[in-house]
Structure 1
């Protein structure tokens, strides 16, 4: 059987052909290898250079290699933090013509290290807890997407630090399964495997003297499960609020943002008596809102501004008589306006720009707002409304917030920005 390279990018096969595929992976010459730390693996894994890229090469049988390759590509399409699958190489033989195991090739995640490598540096307990929070977030993201990992461990996870935050990435999907939705039993089984694996690896580190003496491996493994459950509950629970208390919904969204999740869509339903509002958030990765706001309204903003404006837009749309959430999903999952009633989301969004956004911005005198961009000004006004509503324990409305902001906040802000004239 001839050598075959199944790759995601047409340029990769030419780069990969230069590697010594007729040599068992554990015997590859140093000239092709890149010395990077690796986690524990049941397979032979090496880091190598292919052109300008650093790749991870793992030997395993053809069927699981192709399966994992497909799963990693599925996770990429779902925007799940994981390594990128580049290729599967089959039909390998040595110089004597004897068959060699196929390999799965993934892109090395720049600036990342296996969790186990981090623990081997005797991390302080506070840092370890932050890493475990990141791992809990990753596991929740996977389960929300319907992915059962089947082998969550320190060695199967990469971490990367970015601007002071930690993020976790799946590096091994060999035992994973992707479903439309996970049952409670599937999640519990996956979580129990994580607890056992993590506690076992921490016990190994403890035996080698690399674990901080204040950390109990068994308790730490149980703690990640508790963190996972708290996060899962916050992300998936349905909240019922008194009508008119829309700042409660905003408080919930802020908690989700603090946990590292963005709210892409809100399902808001009023009770038949009109005295309560039911709220169910749908979460996505960061960066979604900037694209979504631009598509709906034409407003080009920063991500945090877009998140805040979309939240206000969703709340406003829920108050409109022609709003039909079942016919106009904000994520574009199926054709908007497909029901018998309900305006398309783009129509409602442009109405919001015309009737809410622009009049609100224009209500602030240009001499007071100075060079502040309209999106930032509106964001500041929404923040001020939230603050006043929290203090009053009811939604004070945007007009009142604008009036108070113009009268009390902007003049003081300009005083601090304007240079004083020397006497």
Structure 2
């Protein structure tokens, strides 16, 4: 079983104090903290192996290339890909999803084709397809949610038709934490020959992931949300689809040969990794994957379920807190979206910072979802492997104090609360 107190020893930042209080980091859906193992791996690369990959026969280049390629293999094993060549490193989930939209959608969609998205989508999953639809004359349709934050699966059956070419959705919501039935959606899409593009940014770091079981065609996720460094993301795709696609970015290392009349693209995955890649970040992601593998993703999942269940139990003690999304911890990741009645979400977030508690406030790059819920923003607490029940107790106590000061806080702009005045 996962012991968060042991895990915390690997994360120096968790010893920090913020505003005179020990840091409680509940902003993991935005980015996770990095263990010493990842930090040291990146430093080790720069101190002893720094060189460009696939560019030279000298020792440093060969070492760097091997380390970088091994990172692809580690990620492939982590998600049970058929081959490491199906694993494309890019900068983040956003770029990964754009690679599919521009590399497949731009070349395959025609006027009159249809794209099915959801109101739950992160902007990074929604906006590329909306732009491609405008360019190609395609039509975008949206699957709605229930009032308690579940996708309306019957609408997939209604909206997916012979005209559907793409179905894109998040495996887990970055606002509500709702875990969606990827396989069910994929089978409906494949029934009409549509491709399935899954946003895994909020699922791969938190629940066991097997791309073969998911039955999706593409999966995108970010390294920095799963203990890895920023600047590295992953696009996994079915090999036959990747081989049929045009590179989104072209240049160095994407080709085998170029003449003035022709281009021979490189093998997978290099044709999609243009220029000098984020080598150190890729190596760091490989170490992060090893770290999570040692802990066990089933243990990660069970730990978050425990934290969510306890949080919801404690939140029910607070009359002025409104919580959004599924009530069953088995149906969601470690994300809690809420508001305090009568207080702006930014004010609440700024007040929590005075207690040393880091949360996210706003619309979380999911404006349509907030509009659907009739909200102008939410406070989001999100957990990971180093968070504890004791931190949740402190979090609830801090919310109680904020509620008791609601009248005075209501009169202060969020900016003033943030400065402690």
Structure scoring higher RCO (CA < 8 A, sep ≥ 6) equals 2
TM-score, length basis structure 1: 0.26
Which of the two has higher C-alpha Rg?
1
After TM superposition, the score normalised by the length of structure 2 is 0.26
